[in-house]
């Protein structure tokens, strides 16, 4: 199937690893020009070389980051056609232990950063005759988790943000959607000190036991691979998703038992 992404100019944030890297890889394989955005310059440069894209080191929570990212994409590819807001992170912490700074940091990363990029990119996409925006949210935004409350609430806000922009820009051919993954076998979960180890420590159990607890919550019985989520994202970026806007596609193995 031709996804119609050849020569499209794409921005992917959080692109040095996990879902973001796999999304960048698939977009590049479809013939798109890809600007990979992330905070770790060395890891980002390696990722860009691997997929054949352009690296742009930036922290999306910085007030000037959106303008710098868009300018870099326009310089490299002559414009912007696709934006994937994937940058994000979480940590295991009880509701009582979350600080004001935790809440602020999660909101800045998952809501304000993506909003600034969408606010800047959407009119540019409209001027080019349309385009795609995909926000990588979370199943936790549909069903909050007691172990990462600030993440859950800000991901719910990101889902709402997606719908808000979708409604505002559909008439211009700018299609805005969200993808809501569940647990993913990415560095966020699997790396040393990642979510698996954090939950194991908090629960007084082994890392393998903590992973088994999470897998048991998923009807498919396993974590998703980053590439499986990236496949959904890339489809929503494509010409084939021409009537999809304002949607929040679950890619969580059935973990959230609602049809929304």
Per-residue pLDDT of the chain (260 residues; tens, 9 = 90+): 899 999 999 999 999 999 999 999 999 999 999 999 999 999 999 999 999 999 999 999 999 999 999 999 999 999 999 999 999 998 889 899 999 999 999 999 999 999 999 999 999 999 999 999 999 999 988 988 888 899 999 999 999 999 999 999 999 999 999 999 988 888 888 888 887 888 888 888 988 888 888 888 888 899 889 999 999 999 999 999 999 999 999 998 888 877 66
Q: Which residues are catalytic?
A: 151
HSE on the CB side for 97, CA within 13 Å?
A: 8
At residue 46, the pLDDT reads: 97
Q: CA-CA distance, 26 to 7, in Å (whole number)?
A: 13
Q: CA-CA distance, 75 to 87, in Å (whole number)?
A: 22
Where b means 16+ CB within 10 Å and e means fewer, 196-230 reads bbbbbeeeeeebeebbeebeebbeeeebbebbbbb
Task: Give the architecture-level CATH label for domain 9-182+226-250.
Answer: 3-Layer(aba) Sandwich (3.40)
At residue 256, the pLDDT reads: 82
At residue 3, the pLDDT reads: 96
Q: 237 CB contacts (<8 Å, ≥6 apart)? A: 3, 5, 8, 10, 27, 82, 84, 132, 134
At residue 23, the pLDDT reads: 98
Length of the chain in terms of residues written: 260
Relative to beta strand 131-136, strand 54-57 is unpaired
- 145 DSSP 8-state letter: -
At residue 66, the pLDDT reads: 98
Please report, for the chain, the start and end positions of each structural domain, with discontinuous segments joined by +. 9-182+226-250, 189-223
């Amino acid at each position: 199937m031709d996804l119609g992404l050849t020569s499209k100019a794409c921005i992917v944030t959080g692109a040095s690893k996990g879902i973001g890297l796999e999304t960048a890889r698939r977009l590049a394989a479809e013939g798109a020009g890809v600007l990979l955005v992330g905070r770790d310059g060395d890891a980002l440069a390696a990722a860009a070389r691997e997929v054949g894209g352009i690296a742009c080191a930036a922290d999306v929570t910085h007030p000037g980051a959106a303008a710098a990212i868009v300018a870099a994409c326009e310089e490299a590819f002559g414009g912007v056609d696709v934006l994937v807001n994937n940058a994000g992170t979480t940590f295991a912490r009880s509701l009582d232990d979350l600080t004001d700074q935790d809440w602020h940091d999660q909101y800045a990363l998952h809501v304000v950063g993506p909003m600034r990029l969408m606010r800047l990119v959407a009119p540019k996409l409209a001027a080019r005759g349309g385009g795609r925006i995909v926000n990588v949210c979370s199943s936790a935004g549909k069903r909050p988790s007691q172990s990462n409350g600030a993440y859950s609430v800000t991901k719910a806000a990101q889902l709402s943000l997606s719908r808000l922009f979708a409604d505002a820009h559909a008439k211009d051919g700018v299609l805005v959607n969200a993808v809501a993954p569940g647990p993913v076998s990415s560095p966020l979960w699997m790396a040393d000190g990642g979510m698996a180890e954090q939950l194991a420590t908090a629960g007084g159990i082994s890392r393998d036991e903590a992973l088994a607890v999470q897998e048991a919550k998923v009807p498919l019985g396993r974590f998703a691979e980053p590439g499986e989520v990236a496949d959904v994202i890339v489809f929503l970026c494509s010409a084939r998703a021409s009537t999809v806007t304002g949607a929040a596609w679950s890619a969580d193995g059935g973990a959230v038992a609602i049809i929304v």
